[in-house]
Amino acid sequence: MTAMRALLALVLLSSAPAQTPHPVPEDPRWLVFEGGEGPGAGKHVVLIAADQEYRSEESLPMLAHLLAERHGFHATVLFGHNPEGLVDPTRKIRWEVKGIEHDIPGLEHLATADALVFFTRLITLPEEQQAQLRTYFDSGKPLITFRTANHAFIEFDYQVDGKQVRFGDDVLGGAFRGHHGRWHADSTRGTVIPEQKDHPVVRGVADVWGPSDVYRTYPEGESLPEGCTALVMGQPLTGRQPTDGPNTKLIALPVAWVKTWTGASGKPARVFHSTMGSAKDFESAGMRRLAVNAVYWGLKLEDRLRADADVDPVAPYAPRASGFDYPKLGVQARPATAFDPRRAPKDDE
């Protein structure tokens, strides 16, 4: 009987589908998270962290780890690097240093991506890297973006049918037009729009709070562009604690929405954008659930998405605060491995 059970186990094992290997090689310039069993098995999510203010270099590795360990997705995190080959959130932008150019090694791996999570701020890339991004934006594959992604670039040459594309307004559905409230002084309470409570992206989302302020992405008196579906409204609060009351002098504005983008290929892509998304915002379970849900929805896996799906960070998550006072905040150029949540940090990190 024991031999028969062993033979049956061997037959079942040999008939099980082989796990798709991660398509990106290990490399010290980026982070690779091997997926496993789960709804995302076999899918590859690339996450790009290259902002200078909101600590995407800390939040996106956490999110990649979560997607891989709890949901089965292969995940790869790419970073903005300085000329010394270090992940550097302190690099200046072209408005501050004329002619400066940024660098995101590994963009060639977008060719194997099934979904892209994108979080940059006012970067300027060499033409080869711009072309790799344009190819993805034209691919019809989903795009999940946060906060400063709506002003992701300076001098990004992207055209469709001979017309220059405005990445924020055209692709994402809105561009930064100002802080709706007090920058680095307010916080935001996000609530699901009742009419959209059954949308997959807000499935299981009960509450979203974060210490980042609300962005205005369209002129006063107007609304989100046609084709955008607002999912979450953000009410500015009077302070930076979740218990602070609403600022009654400021109306709520959309902080999360979905739309479709059709690039040069003619293939429609699902797009999710949230103007929230600082690393501290991602301490909110509601914010993490929005992000995870958006990946599922973008990949048309919403039928596999549970309202109680696990969105807890796999490793302890205590990100630095937002801002540009890098010495005070302890922000400096580091190797990519320093941002790996699977690695215990050293005392000097």
Quickly state the pLDDT bin for 346 (edges 50, 70, 90): low
Residues 6+ apart with CB under 8 A from 234: 188, 189, 190, 214, 252, 253, 254, 255, 275, 276
- Measured distance CA(123)–CA(323) in Å, rounded: 17
Residue 7 has pLDDT above 50, yes or no: no
Residue 3 has pLDDT above 60, yes or no: no
Which of the four CATH numbers 3.40.50, 1.10.3470, 1.10.287, 1.10.10 does domain 26-178+254-339 have?
A: 3.40.50
Residue 250 has pLDDT above 50, yes or no: yes
Quickly state the pLDDT bin for 344 (edges 50, 70, 90): low
pTM of the predicted model as reported, rounded to 2 decimal places: 0.93
Domain boundaries, the chain: 26-178+254-339
- pLDDT at residue 19, as a whole number: 72
Q: If you average pLDDT over residues 30-38, what whole number do you get? A: 96
- pLDDT at residue 18, as a whole number: 56
179 in Cβ contact with 216 (< 8 Å)? yes
- Exposed/middle/buried for 14, CB within 10 Å: 0-12, 13-18, 19+? exposed
Average pLDDT, the chain: 94
Q: If you average pLDDT over residues 198-208, what whole number do you get? A: 96
- pLDDT at residue 2, as a whole number: 53
